[in-house]
Structure 1
Amino acid sequence: MITLRPASERGKANFGWLDSKHSFSFGSYYDPYHMGFSALRVINDDSVAPGAGFATHGHRDMEIISYVLEGSIAHKDSEGNVEVLPAGEFQLMSAGSGITHSEYNASKTDPLKFLQIWIQPNTLGNTPGYQQKNFGQAVGLTTIATPTGENGTLQIKQNATLSQLILASKSEITYQIATDRKMYVHQVAGELNIEDQQLTIGDGAKLTDITTVTLVNPTDTQATALIFDLP
């Protein structure tokens, strides 16, 4: 079964300095029908004004992935990591037993756009950790995060895999989903067709009880999506 999560129906929060769209319940946005999907708990589509950002705050027992779409993030945390994430970069912060951090738009003039993704870990009280990497923009499926950290991927504390899909115009890819696994697709750029469902920017799709699915880019431009393989 494929269930579409339209971008237009996401929760919204606008604080002036932050314009955020929530695929799942978050903050003051609560929808009992959209509390997450399997271990995937949050996908926030955040736009941050120049020089603004999230002051120091805490997390625990959550795998937090940031993917920078435009601009750059200035990150600082209680583990001593002080980093700048440019566009195209993925960051994985394992909150574990507890971590505090801040993240700001690193520019005083340019906007910042990034996806904030939370995945619930399958073990609690872990030692906090930090990983950061640019995986490039190769056409096809690029694995970003795995439970083992194999082949230079980010190592996530959950039996889940995150991949970046970039499809050239008028092309398609067939994806195998293991029995008893679920898949979530978040559309980052362009357009994809999943069977009879059309995804445009910001749309999501929940896939359950499916073992083979074909993703098609029917347009004349490149398409980008994030693919979550979930327990």
Structure 2
Amino acid sequence: MSMALYAGSTRTSETVKGRLTRHSFSFGPHYDPANLGFGPLVCHNDDLLDPATGYAEHPHSELEIVTWVLEGALVHTDSTGASHVVEAGRAQVLSAGSGIRHSEVADRSSGRCRFVQAWLVPSAAGTEPSYVLGEAPPPASGLVEVAGGSGLPIGTAGARLMVARLAAGQAVALPDDPRHHVFAATGAVDLGEHSLRGGDAVRLTDEGGQQVRATEPTELLVWSFAT
């Protein structure tokens, strides 16, 4: 059993014109052999984009790419023909499969855009690329599955992304799975002996059932893995 805090202040970052990206794992030039991933999760980036800036068209393959928009809106286009504006409070899943190209740019009319994007290793290689956009999650007092489980389909077996919007004093219990990645996107929470502020994460192994309690209004993102 383990529970390790990864403070947001320790994350590596990249700044280019109009974009700030904070990396939770080894990424690009920020290579760290001790931090290559957590279970099937190999990337967990936090991006802040000025309007009309972001990522021009580029390729991916053999990844499940899950995006949750926290603020503003993100314009997504890809080589499957999908073209959507993804507003705050919605998830998208891009299954790169055997190969896909896509672009992601902050919507010009919606102000700055902040989104968290995770990359996961798929359970099967060589699949047909696909894209799916979720609706805004219904109001709920607990964790809402937005990808995997009852949410959008993911090609990584046993992976679920859950989101909770908590008022101060509200708490949620982590599912009884063997592995969790808990990220305080905004606000502050207490988890075990750790206090998380916005941008902090905790990685848990064999610690299912733990209570996460908000100490101020918080948007919480939880990845849960069955293996």
Q: TM-score range by the shorter chain?
A: over 0.9
State yes or no: 1:202 paired with 2:199.
yes
Residue identity over aligned pairs, in percent, reads 33
1:102-161, Cα deviation, whole Å (9 max, x unpaired)? 1111116721111111111111111111111121453311011225xx4xx100111211
1:50-75, Cα deviation, whole Å (9 max, x unpaired)? 21121111101101011111111111
**Which structure 2 residue ranges, 5 or more long, are not aligned?**
none
Cα distance in structure 2, aligned partners of 1:15 and 1:35: 23
Displacement after TM superposition at 1:11 (Å)? 0.8
> Which residue in 2 is equivalent to 1:223?
218
**Which structure 1 residue ranges, 5 or more long, are not aligned?**
none
Instruction: With the length of structure 2 as denominator, give the TM-score of the two structures.
Output: 0.93
> Which residue in 2 is equivalent to 1:94?
95
> Which residue in 1 is equivalent to 2:148?
146
Between stretches 196-205 and 127-136, larger displacement belongs to: 127-136
> Which residue in 2 is equivalent to 1:184?
181
Instruction: With the length of structure 1 as denominator, give the TM-score of the two structures.
Output: 0.91
1:166-192, Cα deviation, whole Å (9 max, x unpaired)? 2222122233423xx211101111111
Q: Secondary structure at the match of 1:140?
A: coil
> Aligned residue pairs: how many?
223
> Which residue in 1 is equivalent to 2:35?
34
1:191-212, Cα deviation, whole Å (9 max, x unpaired)? 1111111111111101012243
Return the letter of the residue paired with 2:19: L
Cα distance in structure 2, aligned partners of 1:88 and 1:209: 29
- Structure 1 segments, 4+ long, off by >3 Å, are none
Q: Is the 8 A contact 2:73 2:110 kept in 1?
A: no
> Which residue in 2 is equivalent to 1:115?
116
Distance of aligned partners of 1:193 and 1:128 in 2 relative to their CA distance in 1, 3 Å threshold: same
Distance of aligned partners of 1:29 and 1:137 in 2 relative to their CA distance in 1, 3 Å threshold: farther
Q: Secondary structure at the match of 1:8?
A: helix
Cα distance in structure 2, aligned partners of 1:34 and 1:136: 35
